[in-house]
Amino acid sequence: MNRIQHFGAIAASDWTDEHYHRLPIPAGCREVLRCQVKSLPERARAAAEKLLRSRPRVRKIIVSL
């Protein structure tokens, strides 16, 4: 289980390796902008909104669908 599936959502900028290179998005996950959060399914939307409350400056989010 990866961090995205465990938490439900993660900031896209956090999805990097130890050298800060972008990792590929896993199957079953999708990258969305903060304005697209309202169109997500219920579980993914709740996880994304929780992330946005804790980190309001995040623009892109990777969510587990």
Written as one string, the DSSP assignment of 1-65 is --HHHHHSEEEGGG-B-TT-PBPPPPTTEEEEEGGGGGGS-HHHHHHHHHHHHH-TT--EEEEE-
**Global pTM value:** 0.90
Q: Residue 2 — pLDDT band, cuts 50, 70, 90?
A: confident
Model confidence at 8, pLDDT cuts 50, 70, 90, reads: very high
Interval 44-64: pLDDT, tens: 999 999 999 999 999 999 999
Residue-level pLDDT at 1: 75
Domain ranges, residue 40: 3-64
Each residue's pLDDT tens digit, 10-43: 999 999 999 999 999 999 999 999 999 999 999 9
AA letter at 37:
V
Number of domain units in the chain = 1
